[in-house]
Amino acid sequence: MEYLVSLAVLIGIYVILSSSFNLIIGFGGLISIAHPIFFALGAYTTGLLAIHCGIHPLLAVLAGGTVAFFASMMLSLPSLRISGDYLLITSIGFQLGLLEVIKHLSFTGGASGLGNIPNVVDGSSRSTVFAVVSCVVASAVVLIIRWLLTGPYGRVISAMRDDELAFSALGRNAMMIKLALFAIGSGFAGIAGGIYAYYYQYISPDQFEILQSAMLLTMVVVGGMGSHLGPVVGAVLLLLLPQAISFMNLPPSVMAPLQGVIFTTLVIIFLFWRPQGLIAPAQRQAQRKP
């Protein structure tokens, strides 16, 4: 039972991450893979505030989200003003570069990671509390993104993504929309990082490497890029799938790469045979109707 509850915590966290990543890549059309670094910034900010300042967990998690929100501008401001392809390249450099910094700073725990993050929920119901919190926050994030994208602001985002030139010709500021989308998505990733830090009480730079980017990308592509529920389905499916492999009793040295092989194979299969993912975006579904 404890195992299933821990899985629920992880599902909540990854639903936040995949939905916010979908906001950036699927709805905004911004080609970045640096989402895990904002997850890391949120986790490290929360962890450090909890260890050194002892502030209220809610404030620490919100601070994590705020740091990720503003840090995203360090990446988006220089790269977005040039062209979309540059964002992709800078995002890889930004992620690896910041992780390199974290690995060499003593106050972040260096390469060995940051431990001793205080436990904020005692007792046997600890995991249950975290599962409820992460799932509630995940639902809130999905609903906020849905609300954001179905209103007038959503139509503006769709117009910008579909034809940026025409959008700009109408006097709209595409750059501001992109910056805002990127910052909001990154802020949500920071909040997920805060919950992660409090739950696991230990974080290390290795947890936020490029492989994490691949996992999030898989969740979004398999679930359905640009659909509201796609990343949720993708996150749940791809967190449950490895559990089936775990019953094969393979050694850990084979298990981790095998999971990676399965993830990447799924992405390739979906890219060619079902590019719209398991849940097609609403617009495309509507187009198919006679």
Partner 1 sequence: MIDLSILLQIVWTGLSASSYAVLFAVAFSLVLKVVKVWNFAQAGLMALSFYAMYALHALLGLPLLASVGLGVLITIAASVFMDRFGLQTLRNRLSPNLTFFIFTLVVSEFLAYLLAMIFGTEPVALTQSIMSGVNIINGIVISNWDIQALCITAVLLALLYLFIAKTRDGQFMAAVADNPELARFYGISVKRAYLVTFVISAILVTTGMYLFGTRASVIPNTPLQMMLFAVIATLLGDMGHIFGAALAAIALSLIQGLSIFVIPSQWQGLILYVFLFVTILFFPQGVNFKKFKQLTRTPKTA
232 and 18 Cβ atoms separated by less than 8 Å: yes
- Which two tokens mark 269? 């299969």
Any contact of residue 268 with partner 1 (CB under 8 A)?
A: yes
- Which two tokens mark 138? 């995940």
Nearer to partner 1, 6 or 259 (CB): 259
State which of residues 18, 22, 23, 29 lies at the interface with partner 1 (CB under 8 A). Answer: 29
Task: Kindly list the distances between the CA atom of residue 29 and the CA atoms of 19, 25, 26, 162, 189, in Å, as whole numbers in the listed order.
Answer: 14, 5, 5, 9, 18
Q: Min. distance of Cβ 106 from partner 1 in angstroms?
A: 11
Contacts 24+ apart (CB under 8 A), 172-177: 175/80, 175/81, 177/28
Any contact of residue 258 with partner 1 (CB under 8 A)?
A: yes
Any contact of residue 101 with partner 1 (CB under 8 A)?
A: yes
Q: CB under 8 Å to 182, separation ≥6 — which residues? A: 24, 28, 30, 32, 72, 73, 75, 76, 80
The H-assigned helical ranges of the chain are 2-22, 35-48, 57-80, 84-104, 126-150, 152-162, 164-169, 174-200, 210-223, 230-246, 252-273, 282-288
State which of residues 261, 274, 283, 285 lies at the interface with partner 1 (CB under 8 A). Answer: 261
* Tally of CB atoms within 10 A around 248: 9
Nearer to partner 1, 236 or 267 (CB): 267
Any contact of residue 105 with partner 1 (CB under 8 A)?
A: no
Any contact of residue 260 with partner 1 (CB under 8 A)?
A: yes
Q: Which residue stretch of 120-128, 142-150, 167-175, 260-268 sits at the interface with partner 1 (rule: CB under 8 A)?
A: 260-268
State which of residues 125, 265, 283, 285 lies at the interface with partner 1 (CB under 8 A). Answer: 265
Q: Min. distance of Cβ 236 from partner 1 in angstroms?
A: 21
Binding residues for partner 1, rule: CB under 8 A, are 25, 29, 31, 33, 78-79, 82-86, 88-90, 92-94, 96-97, 100-101, 104, 210-211, 214, 217-218, 221, 253-254, 256-258, 260-261, 263-265, 267-268, 271-272, 275
